[in-house]
Amino acid sequence: MKNLKLKNGSEIPALGLGTSGLKSDQCTETVKTALELGYRHLDTAAAYGNQTAIARAIKESTIPRQELFITSKVWWTDLAYNDFKQAVEKILSELELDYLDMLLIHWPNSDIPLTETLKALQEVKAAGQAKNTGVSNFTINHLKKALSIAPELITDNQVEFHPTLYQKELLKFCFKNDIILTAYSPLARGEALHNSVIKNLADKYDKSPAQLTLKWLLEKDIVVIPKASSQKHLANNLEVFDWDLPLEAAREMELINNNNRVINPDFAEFN
């Protein structure tokens, strides 16, 4: 497993399991299978409604807590100071953990002062409830605002990122400011698996479309958290670290982006 270094020197596994949409027993069994296969990075959120199911999987596994990297997120309606602190307590209680390896602000909320949210985030970190902190679904403007207030807290920005939503300028900004970019929906919710360019390249190099897409992201030093539920797909996604992406394939995939989607317009930009 490849690891990437966060700005405080700690490491984050470059490939993890995204759990959005996984619920109850299916979630527990999927996480248990993933851990058995070698996954050590689990991504969840308060909004996913599956943290108790993940807790069961962790408890039933034999993996020591210190070998796991667990991320969760506070929902955008809970970003006021007291609400944020209470939300973190609930996350830890549901996961049955003393601390998170990464705690993220799930979405920006222009109705709540970011200074208030970051103050709560700083206190959560100081209390040892989160080893690393960051944000999710933040644009460059959002990041500039956060960095102007508490740059040490912004170590990760988790956003939708894949060949058909290649947020190149956001990636550059994150690199420039020593922020890891984590790609959720790295397979474009299955769209990448049916893209003709990716399918042809996968056939040419005897890889699956998922492997090719994940490799394209990993070679950019992006963390990927694909969701999978079958053992076959979980294993397939892990088999991306013992080969290099051919230069020709990388160049062709750079040209795929033809998607003008933006961050969810329901969440307003900071002024």
Q: Which DSSP string corresponds to 33-63?
A: HHHHHT--EEE--GGGT-HHHHHHHHHHS--
pLDDT at 1: 86
Helix (H/G/I), strand (E/B), else coil: 217: helix
Identified catalytic residue from 39, 48, 166, 184:
48
CB-based burial, 248-263: b 16+ in 10 Å, e otherwise: ebbebbeebeeeeeeb
Do 59 and 84 contact (CB within 8 A), yes or no? no
pLDDT tens per residue, range 109-123: 999 999 999 999 999
pLDDT in tens, 233-258: 999 999 999 999 999 999 999 888 76
DSSP state of 160: E
Of 230, 196, 192, 197, nearest to 211 by C-alpha is: 192
User: What is the distance between the alpha carbons of residues 240 and 218, in angstroms, rounded to a whole number?
Assistant: 9
Question: How many Cβ atoms from other residues are within 10 Å of residue 193's Cβ?
Answer: 16
Query: Rounded to two decimals, what is the model's pTM?
Result: 0.94
Cα 193 → chain centroid = 20
User: For residue 177, what pLDDT is reported?
Assistant: 98
Q: Radius of gyration over alpha carbons of the chain, in Å?
A: 18
pLDDT at 260: 47
In this structure, the number of other CB atoms found within 10 A of the CB of residue 11 comes to 13
3-state secondary structure 168-216: HHHHHHHHHCCCEEEEECCCHHHHHHHCHHHHHHHHHCCCCHHHHHHHH
Considering only CA atoms, which of 10, 271, 4, 2 is closest in space to residue 152? 10
Residues of the chain with pLDDT under 70: 258-271
Pairing of strands 69-74, 41-43: parallel
**Token representation of residue 130:** 């989160």
Tokens of 71: 């991320």
For residue 8, the model assigns a pLDDT of 87
The reported pLDDT for the residue numbered 257 is: 79
Give dist(CA 256, CA 213) in Å, integer: 11
| CA distance linking residue 206 with residue 215, whole number of Å | 13
Residue 81 designated active-site: no
- Residue 109's φ and ψ, nearest 5 degrees, are -140, 105
